Every structure is written in structure tokens, then in C-alpha cells.
Amino acid sequence: MPLDFGCNRLQTRRRSGATANGEEASVAVTISDVAKAAGVSASTVSRALTRPERVDAETKARIFAEIERLGYKVNRAARGLVTGRTSNLAVIVADLANPFFPDIVKGIQLRAHRRNLTTLLADSGENPEAELNLVGSLAPQVDGIVLCGSRMSDEQLAKAQQLAPVLLVNRSASGVPAVAVDNADGMRQAVRHLRALRHRRIGYVGGPTTSRSHHDRVDGARRAAADNGMELIELGNVEPSFGGGAAAADSVLLAEVSAVLTYNDMIAIGLMHRLVGYGVRVPDEISVVGFDDIPLAEMTYPPLTTVRFPRREAGEAAVDRLMRVLDGAEPEDDAAPLPTELVVRGSTTRLQTSPEGNHA
């Protein structure tokens, strides 16, 4: 654990004698500058900021006028020092470049901003150890940490929890608050969709077996297939990436299914890409369905039918939930999972009844 050997010198930016007309005010106006200008004490200014109702309306007006004029901004670090609340929120994502995450982060920021929280973002590079280290170094500076797509083991997660209040997005572990998404239901919708399009024998290309959502998804698919009297051929597990999807193309073809479900969009896209390379026509010869509805999904050719994962909503829920936990709520009061939703685009089509019914 690398210790921090502090920084060298360097000057703070300082105010430069805020003149009467406030033109000169350069930076770092403090609460006592405001107090002096408004002819009150620092505590009154502080109170005006934190408990406005306990301050005389007129005084308050004067204070806010000065705040405005001087361009005063509270120093959150100083405030945090005394309140014990940093008003900072850390977000750790597995890989920022993975199109799955940005919208979650945006959702988090949206809510955080609304609650006057600042977000510290870090990227673990899919590395569980790095992730835990990040938790360690971020923990002291934040009120809580949102882990998106955490790769940590349950033990590591437990350690992380000792360091700071933690909230999981799309992952679950007993005793750790989380925001869940209804993955199984998404798969159910996808299967039902294929059923409606007359498919009966379908494939499933799985994702990382270590991933909770993989299990939720495959279970959902199995159950739905059974419920609809369909045959589900499981085609193994691949990396949840473009390359992983491409690699699955042969198995898909070999399985002679008329449609294939995938763990996620990246797999679906890689798969379609390879299929197209083979000269297989999607969706005429084979329908494919993704999961997540990442932005890419509508840019492929044909556009991908997929299940929307409510990313922004999950991000928003994450900060709401985390704040509730900080305010003492039970981790157990598990809210209902966020709903998923099938998005039909061009990569699925109705199966012809006759086996050789496909003509270009």
C-alpha cells in the first residue's frame, strides 16, 4: 500500500483585498470575509447557509447579497472536516470504455449533482485488486462508494465494506446493499418474442460464469424456454466482448438453431459480425437478440433487437439508495429490481413455417 509522501510547496490562490465594489475579488473568499462585509459573525453566515430558517430574514438577505457580490463558495473540505460528511461520492467502474458504464455514471452524476455531491470517478481496469486498492484510497475522502460491475470476490467486497459504505450496481452479495435489475425478466421477454416469431429451437451464448447477471439471465432464459415449450441450446460461455461473440459463431451455426440469445450486446454484435463475414444472413437465416441495449446496438446492420438495461435509472437509484443507507436504512430493505424492456429492431424476424422458406 503506497503511502502518500505529501506534495511540495506551492501557494494557494488567494483573495486580493476584495474592494468595496468587489471587482478585485480574485479567489478564496472565506466565510469571515462575508461575515465582515455583512457586519455579522461567521457563525451567522454559516447558519444562513446550513439552517436558513434560523436566521433573520433581513440579515440573511444582507448575507446572501455579500455572498453573491464577493463570489463566496463554501470550502467543502473545511466543512467536511467538522461535519464528518465529505459530500463526495466515489464511483468505481470496471472499464469506462465499456459502453455499458457511461450511462450508469451519468445517472449517478445527475442525482449526485442534485444532492450537491461531487463524484470521484475511478476505473479499475477490470482488476479486482486494483479495485480494492481504489476503494482503499478513495474511502477516506468520500461518504460512500458505488461499485459498478465490481470484479471483487466476496471476501474483497467484505474488506471494501469495512473501509466505506458501499453500494453495488448489478451485482449482489449478501449483506451488501445493491440496486438490482430484473435480468431474468428481460430474458423472459426476449424468449417470448422469439416464440411469437415462431422460433422453437434457440441458442444461448453465455457470458462470464463468475458473473451474477449471467446466471440470472441464463436462468431466465431456461425457465422461459420451458414455459413456452421451446428448446434452449446452451452454447457455452464466452468473453462478454466483440471477440467473444465472434468466437461463438461456429457453435451457433453448428447448433442449427433459428435464433440465438446472447449474454449481452457486445457478444451479439461480434457474433453478427462474424456471421455476416461467413455470408450468413441476419435475420433471414438466423435471428439474434442481445442484452443491455448499449448505444452500439442501433448502429449495427441490421440494428440489434435487444433488452434494455435501465442504466441511467440504475445510476440514479444507486445514489438514492446509498444516501438512504447512510441515513441509517437497513441494507435488507431491498427495493424491487428495476424493470428491463425488450427493444425490437432488425436482427430478429419471423421464422418461415416451411423449413426452406427463406429466399433473399
Q: Please, which of residues 31-90 interact with DNA by CB under 7 A?
A: 31-32, 39-47, 49-50, 54-56, 58-60, 72-75, 78-79, 81-83
120 binds its own copies (CB under 8 A): yes
Q: Does 174 interact with its own copies (rule: CB under 8 A)? A: no
Q: Is 237 exposed, middle or buried (0-12, 13-18, 19+ CB in 10 A)?
A: buried
* Residue 139 found at the interface with its own copies (CB under 8 A): yes
Nearer to its own copies, 51 or 356 (CB): 51
Of 32, 41, 75, 153, the one binding its own copies (CB under 8 A) is 75
Establish if 85 lies at the interface with its own copies (CB under 8 A).
Answer: yes
339 binds, among its own copies, DNA, none (CB under 5 to 8 A by kind): none
Going by their DSSP bridges, the two strands 341-343 and 306-308 should be labelled as: antiparallel
65 binds its own copies (CB under 8 A): no
For position 16 contacting its own copies by CB under 8 A, the verdict is no
Q: In what order do the strands lie in the sheet with 201-206?
A: 231-237, 201-206, 259-262, 287-289
Residue 264 CA to chain centroid, in angstroms?
A: 15
- The answer to the question of residue 26 lying near its own copies (CB under 8 A) is yes
Q: Is 1 in the site for its own copies (CB under 8 A)?
A: yes
Q: Is 259 in the site for its own copies (CB under 8 A)?
A: no
What is the C-alpha radius of gyration for the chain, rounded to an integer number of angstroms? Answer: 27
Among DNA, its own copies, none, partner that 2 touches (CB below 5 to 8 angstroms by kind): its own copies
How many whole angstroms separate alpha carbon 318 and alpha carbon 79? Answer: 25
As to burial, measured by CB atoms within 10 angstroms (0-12 exposed, 13-18 middle, 19+ buried), residue 23 is exposed
Residue 89 neighbours by CB under 8 Å, 6+ apart: 108, 112, 117, 118, 119, 120, 142, 143, 144, 145, 146, 319, 322
163 is a site residue for its own copies (CB under 8 A): yes
Closer CB to its own copies, 89 or 261, in the complex: 89
